[in-house]
Amino acid sequence: MPDKEVPISHIHEMFKKGELTPVELVERYLDRIKKSFAITNSFIKVFDEYALERARELEAKIHKYEELPLLFGIPVGIKDNINVKGFATTCASRILSGYKSLYNATVTDKILEQGGVVMGKLNMDEFAMGALGNYSFYGPVRNPHNPEFLAGGSSSGAAASVAAGEVKVSLGSDTGGSIRLPASFCGVFGLKPTYGRVSRYGLVAFASSLDQIGPLAGNVEDLARAYVSIAGYDPLDSTSVDIEQHHLSGLMKEITPDDMVLGYPDIVENARMDQEVKESFFNLLSELTNVGFRVKKVSLPHIAYSVEVYQLISTSEASSNLARYDGIRYGFRFRGTDLEKVYNKTRGEGFGEEVKRRILLGTFALSHGYYDEYYLKALKVRRLIKNDLDESFHDADLLILPVSPFPAPRLDEEKDPISLYYLDLFTIPSNLGGNPSMAIPWGKTHDNLPLGFQIVSPLWREDLLFNFATYFEKYFI
């Protein structure tokens, strides 16, 4: 059974030689899902019959291809805030229970065009609001490496399903680190593309100026195939940018260490971090220096305000975006005759505690008398953070920094909701600036849980991320 480290190109060779068929592959992955689901809780819904029928269709026309499409016959998981026509989209929330999507998200169509087999919808933090994977109406997602620990969020099921070998690649969304953080906790690769690179049409909005869809995978080649498959201009998304797209061959080039400067932000030295995470990161910098990379400290003076800026902007946008969920047209609805009570009860019982907390924070920030003091000021500091990032790339080709200040916490560990916001300290700046960023697995904790780091590139330079990751995977993993 091909595991997560075996690249898709190898599976395609097996298809061509008749050593494996798409149906056999999907059956094996479905069997693995059944065996591990009770441990990970990574899926909200598995599309058993749909996936097998899709595999049979692909198998019948495999002879028509001289070169197989990028994801031909490959099991793919979709985060449950991305639409798949005819299936439920719940965002892991009670308030969307019973709702079925009437259309495919653009990325879903692109996955299908490249021959992917959608295996089901993946668990997540409710409406993508969370860093650990424990804010789901369907229960928390557990870490495949040790189910006593959490998988990270909000794309918790997307990371856990890849790490557990339940799918080959998955799609998640990243608003403040929601792909990279669970990727790091689960020991897989995760990419947040440049804002505007991948269509958001069919993605349920959390914070529209920050949300971006991206792939997760167990190796660099699979991540690149998924990324190339979903990237591209989409007239249905007003934030989509018509720009030249990357090709697989260009992403898989290997860089030369002495040609690349890596900059680490000065905040890493003084930030409150777990000692294991800090030691692992600085050991990594030493090892990269030893093989020829030039590593230097860079100044990002406004990055210290990232968490506060992000919370003001994201909660403000969330309070606006989530106003549409009232139970009147679809989803969960409190039954009653008093309209005001129906609204209050529907939203009060339909939304989880974290979602309600963020709606309240955002509504306050946008309220009369506070808009200029909070939301508008946050937008101004966001510009300063973006300027810092742009300026840093005059001195470095890539930025390198930890993904999370702390490793995955235990499932039963008491968690203060406000302090958890600081788990995104190192991931948020990429969302505020729109920059692409990739989480790369490296190292272990004393509990044998994965650690990782992230690299950030200038806008539209995903190729630099993949070129570095190709080298790193070959010589370090």
* Per-residue pLDDT at 337: 86
* Per-residue pLDDT at 33: 97
Residues 6+ apart with CB under 8 A from 274: 405, 406, 407
* Per-residue pLDDT at 56: 98
Helix (H) or strand (E) holding 475: helix 462-476
Query: Is the domain defined by 8-251 classed in CATH 2.20.25.90?
Result: no
Task: Please check whether residue 222 is in contact with residue 8, taking contact to mean a CB–CB distance below 8 angstroms.
Answer: yes
* Per-residue pLDDT at 416: 84
Domain ranges of the chain: 8-251
Start-to-end CA distance of the chain, whole Å, equals 21
**Residues belonging to the active site:** 79, 154, 178
> Would you write out the chain's pLDDT as a tens digit for each of its 477 residues?
347 789 999 999 999 999 999 999 999 999 999 999 899 999 999 999 999 999 999 999 999 999 999 999 999 999 999 999 999 999 999 999 999 999 999 999 999 999 999 999 999 999 999 999 999 999 999 999 999 999 999 999 999 999 999 999 999 999 999 999 999 999 999 999 999 999 999 999 999 999 999 999 999 999 999 999 999 999 999 999 999 999 999 999 989 999 899 999 999 999 999 999 999 999 999 999 999 999 999 999 999 999 999 999 999 999 999 999 999 989 999 998 899 999 999 999 999 999 999 999 999 999 988 999 999 999 999 999 999 999 999 999 999 999 999 999 999 988 788 889 999 999 999 999 999 999 999 999 998 999 999 999 999 999 999 999 999 999 999
C-alpha distances (whole Å) from 361 to each of 281, 319, 457 are 34, 8, 32
* Per-residue pLDDT at 417: 83
**Residue whose C-alpha is closest to residue 362's, from 328, 391, 321, 398:** 321
* Per-residue pLDDT at 418: 82
> Which residues face 452 on adjacent strands?
441
Number of residues that this document lists for the chain? 477
The Cα–Cα gap between 65 and 120 comes to 26
* Per-residue pLDDT at 398: 98
Helix (H) or strand (E) holding 192: strand 189-192
Task: Please check whether residue 360 is in contact with residue 374, taking contact to mean a CB–CB distance below 8 angstroms.
Answer: no
Instruction: Fill in the amino acid letter for 435.
Output: N
Tell me the HSE value of 112 on the side-chain side, using a 13 A CA sphere: 15
* Per-residue pLDDT at 1: 39
The one-character DSSP state at 293 is: -
Phi, psi of 54 (to 5 degrees): -60, -45
The Cα–Cα gap between 1 and 239 comes to 40
